[in-house]
Structure 1
Amino acid sequence: MKLKVKFKFLFKNILKGLLWMAILAVLYLLAKEYIVSDNQEVWLERFYSRPLLIYGIYIGSEVFFGLFPPEIFMLWAYFKGDTWHYVFNLLFFAGISYGAGYLAFLVGRYLRRVVMFRFLGRKFFSRYWPLFRKYGSFLILTAALTPLPWSLISMLVGTTEFPMKRYLNFALFRILRFGIYGYIIFQSHQFA
């Protein structure tokens, strides 16, 4: 397959990610202006007094196929403390996401040996199998950088004969995503 087609797929999903991020930003600004500004102390207390709950929700979300976009947690982290606290939170979030992808990959490795999964897996991964067949390892890169479901793609890759070391190398782009998106969120608050 031509590299041009693969990059078109990647950029299309990056644009979707940026659109999703813009929608989140607008929703965030509207909530901040019309909901939080009236009862700021109540909202701040509700979300910032229980960081372990927020971290637990994030970990659960990443392990269970990204129920919540990581950008929501990045926004939370921005207001949690100073710049270094924000950076450490981003590193934590990136590490958890990378680890959740690896865990999903290992689960996929296990499931490929389960006979019942061979039949159910076709239905479970029906949307992403054709993409993996078409793009191969480029799908890992795209899922790492864009809103494609990271853990689900990692599990799908685990059900194949894809080499683990190669997967882990491509999965490092997940950390890059957190760096880029975190930087965008940080810079957008510098101008607001």
Structure 2
Amino acid sequence: MTTRIKIKFLLKNLLRGVLYAAVIAVAYLLFKTYIIEENQQVWIERFYSQPLLIYLIYIGSEVFFGLFPPEFFMLWAFHKGDTLHYFLNLAFFAGVSYGAGYLAFLIGRYLRRVIIFRYMSRRFFSHYWPLFRKYGSVLIIAAALTPLPWAAISMLVGTTEYPMKRFISFAFFRILRFALYGYIVFQTHQF
């Protein structure tokens, strides 16, 4: 397969990521305007006064296939404190996400030996197997940067004979995603 086709796949998914971020931004603005501002005290008491609960929800979400978009947690972190706390939270979120991907990779490594998992993987990974066969490392980068399910792709890669060191190096693109999206969230909330 040519590099051109792989780059086209990556760019297409990056564009999807930008559109995804735009949809989240619009939903957030509508939610903020029509719901939070009407009952601001209730929202502050429920979510901003219990950061441990938010961190646990985030960790659970990242470990269990990204139930909630990380951008929601970035928005929460922005409103939680000052700039230093925002960037510390962002670093925490990036580290957890990277770690969750690595954990999913290791789980995939273990599960590839379990016979029942082979049958289950046909059902859960059937959409991503052809993409991994076709794009390989580019799929890891795309999952790290875009809304593709990071933990699921990491587990899928773990079930193959993919070299761990290569996975770890490509997984660092996940940190880049948090840096870029975190910067966008920070810049857009300065006005």
| Alignment of structure 1 residues 69-148 onto 2, 5 Å | 69-148=69-148
Alpha-carbon distance in structure 2 between the residues aligned to 1:177 and 1:166: 18
Contiguous gaps of at least 5 residues in structure 1: none
Which residue is 1:14 aligned to?
14
Amino acid at match of 2:97: S
User: 1:14: Cα distance to partner?
Assistant: 1.1
Matched, 1:5 2:8: no
Q: Report which stretch shifted further, 77-86 or 8-17.
A: 8-17
Aligned residues: 191
In the other structure, the counterpart of 2:56 is 56
Map 1:29-40 onto structure 2 (within 5 A): 29-40=29-40
Please report how far the alpha carbon of residue 119 of structure 1 lies from its aligned counterpart in structure 2 after TM superposition. Answer: 2.1
Percent sequence identity is: 72
Measure how far apart 1:149 and its partner are: 0.2
Cα displacement (A) at 1:13: 1.0
Distance 1:118 1:27 in 2: 38
**What is the deviation of 1:121?**
1.4
Deviation at 1:120, TM superposition (A): 2.0
Q: How does 1:173-192 map to 2 (within 5 A)?
A: 173-191=173-191
Q: Give the TM-score, by structure 1 length.
A: 0.97
TM-score calculated relative to the size of structure 2: 0.98
Q: Return the alpha-carbon distance in structure 1 between the equivalents of residues 144 and 120 of structure 2.
A: 25
Q: Which runs of 5+ in 2 are unaligned?
A: none
Whole-Å separation in 2 of the counterparts to 1:23 and 1:75: 14
Q: Equivalents in 2 of 1:110, 1:117: separation in Å?
A: 10
Alignment RMSD: 0.8
